[in-house]
Amino acid sequence: MANLSDLEEKIEPIIKAIYETYEKKEATEQARGYIGASVIGKECKRALWYAFRWVDREQFDGRMLRLFQTGHLEEPRLVADLRNTGATVWDCDPATGKQFNAQDHGGHMRGHCDGVAKNILGTDRSPHLLEFKTHSTKSFAELIKKGLADAKPMHYWQMQWYMGQMKLAKGLYMAKNKDTDELFAAYVEFDEALYQKIRDKAESIIFSDRPPEKIHSDGKYYICNMCSFKDVCHGTKPPKFSCRTCVHVTPEPNGDARWSCAKRQDLDGLSIERQRAGCDEHLVIPDLINFADAIDAGDGWIKFKRKNNGLEFIVGFLDSELPMYTSHELCSAHDHNSIGNEDIDRIRKHFGATIEG
């Protein structure tokens, strides 16, 4: 008889390879350029701002990515289930043939809802927004016990925003227990006050030129501990280099997700590709550097003082004897201790080298 641990050893590479395909695919996809309706209910505004500004890449392992896909795979099945009860369901916008799309604040907040249905049993037959979700047994039990708004505020907020955007007074939330296939449904009434609150929250994040307050000062706090941005937020990891982490950039309230640059007037607007690339005039938003304080600034430069040893350095271009770095070097430094280090700076100057990681 085959040894069980031998079999496990043979099976393990299959599982690993499957998860890796999800991770590789994810790695080729770019971070989204807007705040999504599905995340606006998150507790921490700072995390939403970090994602919007591409401060760091949100990382999910292969298992998690596959789990997200499981949720999407359930959607057409629930559409078919609803149709079988006599409901008229649009899973695409008849005007475009694509998913229903909503956007706000100059296109900086967006979302694609699961559909719209009318003639739903037990309702006045008017059009309802549809939202479908899958749950673990624990999450499903909580949903039944507490109700949608209390158990899943992110889902509830997402629906309220779509209903406000699409001028729908009612919605239907459908959930499936992934372990038992048990279904749950909740009718949702539009709440104008909550819709305005959601819009205000999005506006305050989108148009803030610096990160909002932390939800907690201790990185071990349970929400921070699970957060993709904790190394930048509570640690010393520098932000990623792009226009979105540059002091010169502004998200504009008018247009289709338009961003402008106060420095490079020669550029004909900032396309999303150009934002990803940044430019040599990039000057990092000082609040994103945790290991040093900005103590002075001028046109094209910022002077920082390291918190651990008081050493000063310049980011940008200034006639100074202090170690000087481009914003790109600062954002690329894997070890922040290399910044401001006089020995490393001497070697840099001697060889004309730059910090690349």
Residues that bind ligand SF4 (CB under 6 A): 44, 46-47, 50, 214-216, 223-224, 227, 229-230, 233-234, 243, 246, 248-249, 261, 263-264, 267, 278-279, 281-282
Closer to ligand SF4 by Cβ: residue 120 or 224 = 224
What H or E segment, with its residue span, contains residue 79?
helix 62-84
Smallest distance from ligand SF4 to CB 136, Å: 22
Residue type, 34: Y
Closer to ligand SF4 by Cβ: residue 140 or 241 = 241
Smallest distance from ligand SF4 to CB 324, Å: 18
Smallest distance from ligand SF4 to CB 294, Å: 17
What H or E segment, with its residue span, contains residue 185?
strand 183-189
Closer to ligand SF4 by Cβ: residue 215 or 344 = 215
Bridge partners for 103 per DSSP:
110
Closer to ligand SF4 by Cβ: residue 76 or 269 = 269
Closer to ligand SF4 by Cβ: residue 163 or 261 = 261
Spatial separation of the C-alpha atoms in residues 245 and 287, rounded to whole Å? 10
**269's tokens:** 């607007």
Smallest distance from ligand SF4 to CB 161, Å: 21
Mode of pairing for the β-strands spanning 292-298 and 259-261: unpaired
Radius of gyration of the chain (CA): 24
Spatial separation of the C-alpha atoms in residues 52 and 50, rounded to whole Å? 5
Spatial separation of the C-alpha atoms in residues 112 and 117, rounded to whole Å? 15
Task: Return the axis-axis angle of helices 192-206 and 45-52, rounded to nearest 10°.
Answer: 50
DSSP per position, 117-149: EES-TTS-S--EEEEEEEE-HHHHHHHHHH-HH
Smallest distance from ligand SF4 to CB 233, Å: 3
Spatial separation of the C-alpha atoms in residues 306 and 308, rounded to whole Å? 6
First vs last Cα of the chain: how many Å apart?
A: 51
DSSP per position, 235-296: S-PPPPPSGGGBTTEEE-SSSSS-EEESS-TTSS---HHHHHH--TT--B-GGG-SSEEEEE
Closer to ligand SF4 by Cβ: residue 43 or 192 = 43
Closer to ligand SF4 by Cβ: residue 261 or 333 = 261
Closer to ligand SF4 by Cβ: residue 248 or 305 = 248
Spatial separation of the C-alpha atoms in residues 192 and 164, rounded to whole Å? 7
Smallest distance from ligand SF4 to CB 259, Å: 8
**286's tokens:** 């000082």
**36's tokens:** 């999504």
Smallest distance from ligand SF4 to CB 152, Å: 18
Smallest distance from ligand SF4 to CB 108, Å: 16
Contact 132, 59 (CB under 8 A): no
Contact 149, 156 (CB under 8 A): yes
Smallest distance from ligand SF4 to CB 260, Å: 8
Smallest distance from ligand SF4 to CB 332, Å: 14
Closer to ligand SF4 by Cβ: residue 46 or 303 = 46
Closer to ligand SF4 by Cβ: residue 54 or 100 = 54
